[in-house]
Amino acid sequence: MMGGEGGLRSFHTRKEFDEARCENLIRRFHFHTGDINVDSFRKLRERVAALDEKFGAQGNVLFYFAMAPRFFGPLCNALYEAGFQEGPGWRRIIVEKPFGTDLESARALNVDILKHWHENQIYRIDHYLGKETVQNLLAFRFSNGMFEPLWNRSHVDNIQFNVCEMVDVQGRGGYYDHSGVLRDMIQNHMFQMLAYLCMEPPASFEADSIRNEKAKLLQSVRIYTPDEVAINAVRGQYGPHHNGGGEVEKPGYRQEKDVDPKSSTETFAALKLLIDNWRWQGVPIYLRSGKALWKRSTEIVVTFKKAPEQIFRGTAVDELEPNRLVFHIQPYQGIELKFQAKVPGPTVELQNVDMKFSYGDAFKASRYTGYEVMVYACTRGDATLFSRGDLVEAAWKVAQPILDYWSANPVGSEFPNYMRGTWGPPTASDLIERDGRSWFEVVTPDVLERLPLFKGAEPLLLNSVIMALRPTTAAPGETVISIDDAANQMYLIARGEAQIIDRAGKVMETLHDGDFFGEVGLLLCTARTATVRAKTQCDFFVLEKDEFSRILREHPQFAETLRKFANERYDIAVSCEELMSPS
């Protein structure tokens, strides 16, 4: 069964499935049942000794604790009392997360586990750190001389970590309602990635050398007071999604199975962190994660400071865009550098371009799953990718004041505050916009192809549009464009409903996910002929007039698509030549 449907075959990542090796592995599986007590574990030790003699394991034993944290201490005690610490070979323990539910419980777990076992025998696993792109953060930083000199407060403006999940709690409401995204995702996965990205260069790639630097980094993250938490942390909870008829299509979090109908548990969180050391002093680190969002992706965006703009005065360049380095962690795995280049022609005009590295395109080797990498590393005694006790405590020290503040200030009727499938609550945008910045939404071709306007579009067009898009949001009832305003943008609705309203205030049409508006004013160079107002929370992609015109000129097929839409929707006859005219 393990090699068949639903077993190992379902989860393997190799290009071909090796039946012989699979069967050889399965023949070595043995099962033994028992309780968490000394007698049961003594019988287990006898069974392990017999298998060791048969297969020549040289006394090496790896224990994997895939149980609730409250069992970790009793398990360690039972193993010790049963004599598993004795004999030849190594003994190692893998401990699954969550490692504690707060700072106090994490410290208590450390005490329980280390009562009979040494730190170098304990491997606290975080499967995120087994992903190739996470490991590549270290290789990228310390093997490429061109970036490390820029990796500091003098050159980096801000760093953004995004972990977006399209899925909801998937029937795990009972667990999640006692956890929330801060515990489930940010305190462990995201803080670990933060440590890799921002730590000082280690003396070597030895495990303790790297983990020492990770600990120093996490210990440098500012611990907030309650007043600082109120300013630098926001939370959200997803609400239901309604269909066009106003009926609930998918439930909100409070309607999920085993969830308290008045739950204050956050399914979304956004934080601004500060690292108080020489390298990063004053550079804001923005973290954002949530469930039931608009896409599934994990990425890190390093935004560098802008170049001086004065040199371009007198040219067609009004403003320079900052350079960005994007680490794609999942589902796409790669690295992307975004910069600006001159548009071919007699005048100085700039266009956003990018250089991409994709693991799938660059390497033929099969990818490994995170858990596969971590278990293999443990068998080799390589603790580089695992958390040490002081690392766990340092991460909890950062998270604890936030948890305490949220616990002392329940949200009540403020939740839910974002709709399924959106970018999250508007308060997350407010958090970063107070600093004069905005979230950099990483758009991938598959996201753009969900919109009817770009379905089946060629990759070059998709990439050109992606580089030009600017995200924006609107709250319910907010006016997006007003009648008679100058036409400077085209809007694409990523999620939400917007109403087109005439001069008399009558709703002429309601637009939904995937629709777009504002293109007529750009096409005909006229003022707005209607007002557009958000009916629900809306997330938009915006194409500015200059970028819109450039894409039309460079991609005739896009001009043809727009011409057809204009004809069908507004009975406007316009030729492709007119659309692509620079005027």
pLDDT in the model for residue 398: 97
The pLDDT assigned to 247 comes to: 78
Name the β-bridge partners of 156. 304
The catalytic position among 32, 118, 155, 189 is: 189
| pLDDT over 70 (residue 325) | yes
* Secondary structure element (H or E) that encloses residue 23, with its range: helix 19-26
Q: Residue 150 has what DSSP assignment?
A: G
Q: What are phi and psi of 71, to 5 degrees?
A: -95, -10
- Residue pLDDT, tens place only, 184-222: 899 988 999 999 999 999 999 898 999 999 999 999 999
pLDDT tens-digit map of 385-396: 888 889 999 999
Q: Give the pLDDT confidence of 234-248 residue by residue, as tens digits.
A: 999 999 987 767 778
Average pLDDT on 315-327 reads: 85
How large is the average pLDDT for residues 321-345?
Answer: 86
The pLDDT of residue 475: 85
**In this model, does residue 136 exceed pLDDT 90?**
no
Q: Which pLDDT belongs to residue 572?
A: 61
Give the pLDDT score at 293: 92
Amino acid 308: pLDDT: 86
Query: Using 50, 70 and 90 to split pLDDT, how confident is the model at 226?
Result: very high
What pLDDT sits at residue 364? 65
Q: Which residue from 195, 467, 442 is spatially nearest to 331, judged by alpha carbons? A: 442
Confidence grade of residue 458 (pLDDT, cut at 50, 70, 90): confident
Pick from 264, 297, 537, 293: which is nearest to 420 by CA? Answer: 293
Looking at residue 384, its pLDDT comes to 87
Who has greater pLDDT, 58 or 575? 58
Indicate the angle between helix axes 38-55 and 72-81, nearest 10 degrees. 70
pLDDT one-digit tens code per residue, 119-133: 999 999 887 787 777
Q: Which of 108-112, 115-119, 176-180, 274-278 holds the top average pLDDT? A: 274-278
Beta bridge partners, 285, equal: 159, 273
pLDDT (average), residues 247-265: 91
* CB-CB contact of 456 with 448 (8 Å): no
CB 279 within 8 A of CB 269: no
* Model pLDDT for residues 285-314, shown as the tens digit of each residue: 999 999 999 888 999 999 999 988 888 887
Is the pLDDT at 331 greater than 90? The verdict is no
Q: Above 90 in pLDDT, residue 446?
A: no
Per-residue pLDDT at 494? 86
CB neighbours of residue 193 within 10 Å: 24
Q: In whole angstroms, what is the distance from residue 241 CA to residue 263 CA?
A: 18
Tokens standing for 479? 């006016």
Condensed to tens digits (0 to 9), the pLDDT of residues 96-112 reads 877 888 999 899 989 98
Asked if 169 and 256 count as a contact pair (C-beta separation under 8 A), the reply is yes
Q: What is the pLDDT of residue 248?
A: 80
Look at residues 149, 133, 411 and name the one whose alpha carbon lies nearest to residue 268: 411
**The predicted structure's pLDDT at residue 577:** 56
Residues 6+ apart with CB under 8 A from 294: 164, 166, 421, 422, 423, 447, 494, 495, 539
Identify the pLDDT of residue 424.
92
Give tens-digit pLDDT for 556-582: 888 777 777 767 766 666 555 555 554
Residue 12 annotated to the active site: no
**Contact by Cβ (8 Å): 323, 146:** no
Residue whose pair of structure tokens reads 């050398």 in the numeric block: 209
The pLDDT assigned to 1 comes to 43
pLDDT for res 267: 97
Chain mean pLDDT for the chain: 87
pLDDT above 70 covers a percentage of the chain that reads 94
Instruction: Note the pLDDT tens digit of each residue in 19-51.
Output: 888 888 888 888 988 888 899 999 999 999 999
SS3 per residue for 518-539: CHHHHHHCCCCCCEEEECCCEE
pLDDT above 90 for 470: no
Percent pLDDT > 90 in the chain is 40
| DSSP code, position 183 | I
**pLDDT value at position 527?**
81
pLDDT digits (tens, 9 = 90+) for 362-372: 776 566 777 88
Looking at residue 349, its pLDDT comes to 74
Pull the structure tokens for residue 243: 């269909």
The domains located in the chain, with CATH, are 31-124 (3.40.50.720), 128-433 (3.30.360.10), 445-579 (2.60.120.10)
